[in-house]
Structure 1
């Protein structure tokens, strides 16, 4: 069995995200694998994503465009902070949609060999209300999924 050549790394941009990306890069280096980091932004259920957001002196912009821009900047900041000692082909993007579905769709579309993602291991009511993106991905992904426990915020 050959090692991975394409690794998908979904991140939520919270505190554990850097350690997940660092781990994926460490896995990728010996195999010369590429790493694609994605962040899924899910529009609020009760607010239209094309709602215009404006304040004095600013151009009005849609909520979706503002969220995508902010998440993109946060993602770039995260990737600037990771260990770059040995080069790995690294790309990143923000995708709109429910996180679990986005990860599964991206993994299938991109023909990834491995998904590396964090899990907060929430329990009880929090898990019931928020669900588990990692559990959904592990249960439905066509490729192996490596989950890493990250601290809860």
Structure 2
């Protein structure tokens, strides 16, 4: 079974990674860790030095986090492939990587909400659930 953990730089990412490692061990499968460096604007539309520097900082932070997640997975007993992508739509990138890698199970998080919002999953997670080519496990 091919499993992919789509992780961000939040404090919840390690818990999601732990679930993905447990699923990988249980299934005897392979684990891919995906971290997306989100661009908040299309660089082609707003090509300015400040935008490029910010974009590079997001990418550097994503690469550092991905390396840390890979080390954590290895400590937990699973060697994972690491993929870092950058773009304006994390959901689209996650779905595309899942398609390209023929992932069987995608594991991701959803931001916790209060009040009426607690009955809804986040917009990124919702889009992924709707468009993923595989089963999706949303972890809170």
Shorter-chain TM-score range: 0.7 to 0.9
Q: What is the aligned partner in structure 2 of residue 69 from structure 1?
A: 60
1:141 to 101, 108, 132: 132
Q: What is the aligned partner in structure 1 of residue 98 from structure 2?
A: 107
Structure 2 length as normaliser, TM-score?
Answer: 0.79
1:25 to 21, 37, 45: 21
1:93 to 83, 90, 102: 83
Residue 117 of structure 1 aligns to a residue whose secondary structure is strand
- List alignment gaps of at least 5 residues for structure 2: none
String of CA shifts for 1:92-139, please: whole Å, max 9, x gaps.
122012111011111111100000111114368x89xxx611111111
Is the Cα–Cα contact under 8 Å of residues 100 and 134 in structure 1 kept in the other structure?
yes
- List alignment gaps of at least 5 residues for structure 1: 54-60
Residue 35 of structure 2 aligns to a residue whose secondary structure is strand
1:44 to 31, 35, 40: 40
Name the structure with the higher helix share: 2
Deviation at 1:50, TM superposition (A): 5.6
Question: Which protein shows a greater Rg?
Answer: 1
Distance 1:47 1:142 in 2: 28
Aligned residues: 134
Distance 2:95 2:132 in 1: 6
